[in-house]
Structure 1
Amino acid sequence: METIVKEVTRTFYFGDEPVEVTSLARIDKVTNEDVPDAELDEETLRKGEAIYRKRHNLIEPENITEFRQKFGISTVELANLLNMDAFELELIEEDGFFPTDEQNLLLKLLIEHPEPFKEYWSARSA
């Protein structure tokens, strides 16, 4: 089978919400049908997730990681501090799951305004 890689537009659904993504896909030259390509397909999905995150002002997983690394706090410690389930926080941070509205608000407030956390964490660590 001979294939080509070309730019295509696809629609993904996150819940009931459509998200259009234009990206590269592997196509069969003869049938013009999609051919699975793990790398290209994963990149397309990530683009869709990024569009959805931006549209809904959701926290980026890497922002959580950077915050934890900056302050030397574990996933479990951060989850406990925010009264969240550690497994859920791990899914949001490491697997790109979307947070609930409440989780998103708490994480964004903490990361965008870390001063109260710094004071709390310093006092707790002393």
Structure 2
Amino acid sequence: MSYTTSIHVTQNDSDSPAPNTLLNISANSRTSVHINGLYYALSETPTEVSTDNMGSLTVVEASEGINGIVITISLDGENTVTVNPMDKNIAKLTALNTSDKVRGAQVPRPTVPQDLHYI
């Protein structure tokens, strides 16, 4: 399982992409991630990264379970955004607040058939 966070930076005066823009990214705890295909070790100390030619930044964090890191992104120390990739999953779980909703919950089926064997 992994969490993927996509960030798109645009110009101030339009919705045009802001290519090669330097951002500071930090995490609420030390963890390893891939940002635009490169390995980074994030922590509470901000790491400077650059958006790609389309003003995008893609952060992928491998996870063994439901827990993920909270990411903070800032541009020049201003315009700070905090992203919690677990928000969607937590919202789904907290919506199961009655016995009928729990009974009606559906668990996704595996995408790989259980009877496949790998050598």
The TM-score, its normalising length taken from structure 2, stands at: 0.22
The TM-score, its normalising length taken from structure 1, stands at: 0.21
Give 1 or 2 for the bigger CA radius of gyration: 1
